[in-house]
Amino acid sequence: MDLFEYQGKEFFAEYGMPVSAGEIAFTVPEAVAAAERLGTPVMVKAQVHTGGRGKAGGVKFAADIDAVRQHAGNILGLDIKGHIVGRVWIEKASDIAEEYYASFTLDRSAKKHLGMLSVEGGVEIETVAETNPDAIAKIWIDPIDGLSEATCRDWVAAAKLPEPAVEGTVEVLLKLYRAYSEGDADLVEINPLILTPEGSVHVLDAKVTLDGNSEFRHPDYSQYDATQSRDEREQAAHAKGLQYVGLDGSVGVIANGAGLAMSTVDVVNQVGGNPANFLDIGGGANADVMAGALEVINNDPAVKAIFINIFGGITRGEEIASGILEAMKRVEIDSPIVIRLDGTNANQGRAILEPHLTDKLMMQPTMLDAARRVVELAS
List, for residues 105-164, the tens digit of each pLDDT value. Answer: 999 999 999 999 999 998 888 888 888 999 999 999 999 999 999 999 999 999 999 999
Q: Where in the chain is the domain with CATH 3.30.470.20?
A: 98-225
Residue 222 has pLDDT above 90, yes or no: no
- Rounded to whole angstroms, the Cα distance separating 221 from 206 reads 17
For 8-64, the pLDDT digits (tens) are 999 999 999 999 999 999 999 999 999 999 999 999 999 998 888 988 999 999 999
Q: Where in the chain is the domain with CATH 3.40.50.261?
A: 232-378
pLDDT at residue 236, rounded to an integer: 61
Residues tagged active-site: 101, 189
DSSP 246-303: E-SSSEEEEESSHHHHHHHHHHHHHTT--BSEEEE-TT---HHHHHHHHHHHHT-TT-
Asked if the 98-225 domain carries CATH number 3.40.50.2300, the reply is no
DSSP-assigned letter for residue 55? T
CB 337 within 8 A of CB 361: yes
Residue 5 has pLDDT above 60, yes or no: yes
pLDDT at residue 285, rounded to an integer: 63
For 316-325, the pLDDT digits (tens) are 888 888 888 9
Phi first, then psi, for residue 310 (nearest 5°) are: -120, 130
Q: What's the CATH class of domain 21-92?
A: alpha beta
What percent of the chain shows pLDDT beyond 90?
68
CB hemisphere CA count around 262 (13 angstroms): 3
Phi first, then psi, for residue 185 (nearest 5°) are: -95, 150
- Overall pTM > 0.85: no
- Give the residues across from 136 on adjacent strands: 118
Q: Where in the chain is the domain with CATH 3.30.1490.20?
A: 21-92
**What is the topology classification, in CATH, of domain 232-378?**
Rossmann fold (3.40.50)
